[in-house]
């Protein structure tokens, strides 16, 4: 029996909630290690868009990825929701910036420059689940679907997931598939 998108969202939210703090951190660090392996053959990439974890969503701790990229001298971008249009604004982080939480519990950098997204070469995409073809399920608000559609098609879309791939997720017309997904165990190419 296959689950539909709302059922998969519920299932993966419950799986995340069941992770202990130690498991969450261990899996996050294993993903970071695989990101480093993934980037070791891609030295031409220097412009990275990264999401930061919302604690109540039990998301992957991406701060070690940020620290690694900054040590390499790479540019790190993130986004914040533009309240008037519910789209994402692109923010270039200042090195070693601190973060504060917005009204939704989303980490927002204290020091940044508001920029366009033309320089971005790779986006690390948050998700709840993904399938063997690179289709993903996010939190259902559609912010990343709009954001990914605004990027040059050559930008690499790399999901980060605690869990392995589902067999199949039915994509919708506006869905943009991943190019890769990095889990604690694997680097998957689609």
Residues making up the annotated binding site for ATP are: 5-9, 136-144
**What band does 66 get if pLDDT is binned at 50, 70 and 90?**
very high
How many CB atoms neighbour CB 160 within 10 A?
A: 26
pLDDT higher than threshold 50 for residue 183: yes
User: Which CATH code fits 5-189?
Assistant: 3.40.50.10420
The pairing of strands 47-49 and 75-82 is: parallel
Tokens linked to 152: 């040059």
The pLDDT assigned to 86 comes to 66
- Cβ neighbourhood burial of 63 (10 Å; 0-12, 13-18, 19+): middle
Residues making up the annotated binding site for substrate are: 59
> Rounded mean pLDDT of 32-37?
98
Strand partners, 79: 90
Calpha distance 153→163 (Å, rounded): 26
The pLDDT assigned to 1 comes to 47
The pLDDT assigned to 188 comes to 98
The helix or strand, by DSSP H or E, that contains position 180, with its residue range, turns out to be strand 180-182
The share of the chain scoring above pLDDT 90, in percent, equals 81
Residues making up the annotated binding site are: 5-9, 59, 136-144
Which of 16-25, 77-86, 124-133, 177-186 is the least confident region?
77-86
pLDDT digits over 148-158, tens only? 999 999 999 99
Q: Where are the domains of the chain?
A: 5-189
């Amino acid at each position: 029996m296959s689950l539909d998108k709302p059922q998969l969202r519920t299932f993966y939210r419950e799986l995340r909630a069941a992770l202990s703090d130690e498991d969450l951190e261990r899996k996050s660090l294993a993903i970071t290690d695989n990101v480093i392996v993934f980037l070791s053959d891609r030295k031409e990439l220097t412009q990275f868009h990264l999401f930061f974890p919302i604690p109540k969503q039990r998301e992957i701790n991406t701060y070690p990825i940020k620290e690694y990229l900054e040590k390499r001298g790479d540019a790190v971008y993130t986004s914040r929701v533009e309240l008037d249009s519910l789209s994402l604004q692109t923010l270039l982080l200042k090195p070693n910036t601190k973060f504060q939480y917005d009204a939704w519990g989303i980490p927002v950098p204290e020091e940044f420059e508001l920029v366009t997204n033309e320089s971005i070469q790779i986006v690390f995409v948050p998700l709840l689940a993904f399938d063997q073809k690179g289709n993903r399920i996010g939190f259902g608000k559609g912010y990343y679907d709009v954001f990914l559609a605004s990027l040059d098609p050559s930008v690499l879309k790399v999901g980060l997931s605690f869990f392995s791939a589902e067999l199949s997720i039915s994509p919708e017309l506006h869905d943009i598939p991943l190019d890769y997904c990095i889990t604690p165990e694997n680097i998957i190419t689609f």
